[in-house]
Amino acid sequence: MLEQQKRLWYGTMGIDWAERIDFARMRQERLAKMQATLKKHGVPALIVTGSAAKRYCTGIRSPEHVGPGDSFVLVFAEDANSIVWEVPAIYYHERGRTPWVQPENYRVGSSFWSVSTGRLYREEEGRRVAQEIYDELKKKGLAKERIATESLFPWVRAPLQNLGLNLVDALDMVFETMRTKTQDEISCMKMGGAIVDIAFAAVMEKMRVGMRENEVASLVMEALWKNGCERGKT
């Protein structure tokens, strides 16, 4: 058998006797970077809907069944306490496992992405969520300012614009922020690369003539999941 597999330099488990990946620090530094970008572009708040940007700004990982635009996060340039609208089915569970988000800053969102939701439902719920976002901005005196949006479906964007919000595109701001990596993000990338190496090694060691593609794929997925990857990718 080929000796291909290498041990991970960083352990995949949290410990108290050595510093590995500091996820709390990574969350704080990511948010600080996003806030710095908003200030640089003269934007006091950002409405986040995509799961990647949502996780980047808040450390909240959306469940598999939550589609883009189902949940919303209102990120402020001058306030580290973001406001989160989460899908009803996971609202209570998520609020209990994210202590770095103040419980009172959670709001009940909606399930816009489901094919079972009709146009009237989406429009009604879109107006409700838009009004709540607008009210939060108004409380902080930001309703007349430029508000960045990473991506918004029409049934939320239109009501926000009807309320008078000046929406500007934030994709370039998000990409600009994510472009430079922190110490902990680099460690995560090294961890991801090591896990992929293990998966390739498993294929090299166990693949045989006559194996079907799905059997080879199962070797890859077993190695990835066993060593800590999520969603079938690192």
Q: Per mean pLDDT, which range of 8-17, 25-34, 95-104, 196-205 is the poorest? A: 8-17
Task: Report d(CA 223, CA 16) in Å as an integer.
Answer: 27
CATH of 41-179, one of 3.30.1280.10, 3.30.70.330, 3.40.50.300, 3.40.350.10: 3.40.350.10
Structure-token match 């309703």, residue found: 143
Give the residue extent of every domain in the chain.
1-15+181-234, 41-179
pLDDT tens digits, one per residue of 61-101: 876 666 666 788 999 999 999 999 988 878 888 888 899 99
Q: What is the pTM of this model?
A: 0.85
Inter-residue contact 25 to 59 (CB < 8 Å): no
- Dihedral pair phi/psi, residue 147, rounded to 5°: -115, 125
The C-alpha angle 143, 102, 31, rounded to 5 degrees, equals: 70
pLDDT tens digits, one per residue of 119-162: 777 888 889 999 999 999 999 999 999 999 988 888 899 999 99
> What is the number of H-type helices and E-type strands within the chain?
8, 6
Terminal alpha carbon distance of the chain: 26
